[in-house]
Amino acid sequence: MSETEEIVRIAAKGDGVTQSGRHIAGAVTGDTVTPDGSIEAGPHQVTPPCRHFGKCGGCQLQHADEAALMQFVTDRVVNAARGQEIEIGEVLPTHLSPARSRRRATLHALKARKGAVVGFREARSNRIVDMQQCEILDPRLFALVAPLRKLVASHAERTPVDVSLTLADQGIDCSIKGIEADGLAATEALLDFARDHSLARLSLDQGFGPEVVWEPEPVTISLGEVPVGLPQGAFLQPTTDGEEVLLADAKRWLAGASTVADLFSGLGTFAFALAGSAKVLAAEAARDAHLACNSAANSRGIAVHAMHRDLFRNPLQATEISKFSSVLLDPPRAGAREQVAQIAASEIERVVYVSCNPSSWARDAKTLIDAGFKLEALRPVGQFRWSTHVELTSYFTR
């Protein structure tokens, strides 16, 4: 490079990008890159708040200030739409979840010669960063890291251990894979661990799936103020504030709808929030999530009809969709190509599409646009703060 270049944006994987298209690791919008390749900090470069940043793979953008983070999340979503030549009616304000707000995470652990290490893995590596600080986890989850380190040091073999943590209504739901509870002493130690730290549930996976060893009362997660049984490994929105934004958009856009088809409904995150003013079909392929949703709806007489259906292999057909006044879908990262094709072929006029992958969403959105829909509104959402993982809500009308 023969001259100084300015970083004009942050790329999808977190590198800074110059006007000429060069990718510079560790740079953010507004930085300059000198001819020798060094980075001169600009107005949006800040000191990362976590001592592990740069090594831990949990965050990629702690060196970017709030404005740069907002712009990154916004650009990822808006550019995905523009890449498909989709006209956007309104881009709503981007939502970023605050620090220390993640309510679920999977940590990794390994017994060492002296003690154990517990944390996230390094970027592009299986090595574990021994977590002494975390700026993304809810403090209640982070408080369990040190006790977990002692548990692994005392009762694990020198093989990998995975620990899934989720904040439920009753406290922390903890599932451990890689520790074998052989003998009375090990079993008592695990029960003491659960009791001493007031866990809502402790499960062990010894190669045959999670088995509950401690659950004083049935574990639930409240969705739309409805307590729903929380199956092992069930999907939840990563932050409560992010979930509230998604729900508020969906409720506003579907106001007045008498019937809603909630597709890829999971435990009923959207279904229970919408059921106060509409009858809702909640279609989900995961049996445990479907049963939990169905049980919660039936036990409280809520107008949610839970349907067990694989919408990838057997999407709701256009004739079925046309019976509803509106559709909401929140598919996995791969999107919903087959289901969206049926929505496009139906007579439905309102669609709310929530996505965790702007690329697959844009592909599906193009299908709706080609079928006569208009993208009325689009909101970028960054629930995974300081991460390159981006989400969105969108509203289509025809």
HEC string for 59-91: CCCCCECHHHHHHHHHHHHHHHHHHCCCCECCE
The C-alpha atoms of residue 80 and residue 200 are separated, in whole angstroms, by 40
Is the predicted pLDDT of residue 1 greater than 70, yes or no? no
CA angle 230, 231, 235 (to 5 degrees): 80
Is the predicted pLDDT of residue 76 greater than 80, yes or no? yes
Q: Residue 330 annotated as binding?
A: yes
Please indicate whether residue 20 or residue 357 has the higher confidence score (pLDDT). Answer: 357
Position 377 confidence tier, pLDDT thresholds 50, 70, 90: very high
Q: Residue 270 annotated as binding?
A: no
In this prediction, residue 186 carries a pLDDT of: 80
Cβ neighbours for 85, distance < 8 A, ≥ 6 positions apart: 366
Q: What's the mean per-residue pLDDT of the chain? A: 95
Task: Tell the burial category of 197 from Cβ atoms under 10 Å away from its Cβ (0-12, 13-18, 19+).
Answer: middle
What residues act catalytically? 356
Q: Residue type for 3, please?
A: E
Asked whether 261 and 322 are in contact (CB, 8 A), the reply is: no
pLDDT tens track for 131-175: 999 999 999 999 999 999 999 999 888 899 999 999 999 999 999
Alpha helices in the chain (DSSP H): 66-83, 139-142, 145-155, 184-196, 240-253, 269-274, 287-300, 318-321, 337-345, 358-370
Taking the mean position of all CA atoms in its chain, how far away is CA 359?
16
pLDDT tens track for 234-258: 999 999 999 999 999 999 999 999 9
Tokens of 22: 């060069």
Q: Residue 237 annotated as binding?
A: yes
pTM of the model as a whole: 0.95
Q: Residue 284 annotated as binding?
A: yes
Is the predicted pLDDT of residue 271 greater than 70, yes or no? yes
Give the count of beta carbons closer than 10 Å to the beta carbon of residue 228: 26
Measured on CA atoms in the order 64, 66, 71, 72, is the torsion positive or negative?
positive
Length of the chain, please?
398
Over range 350-364, report the average pLDDT.
98
CA atoms lying within 13 Å on the CB side of residue 23: 7
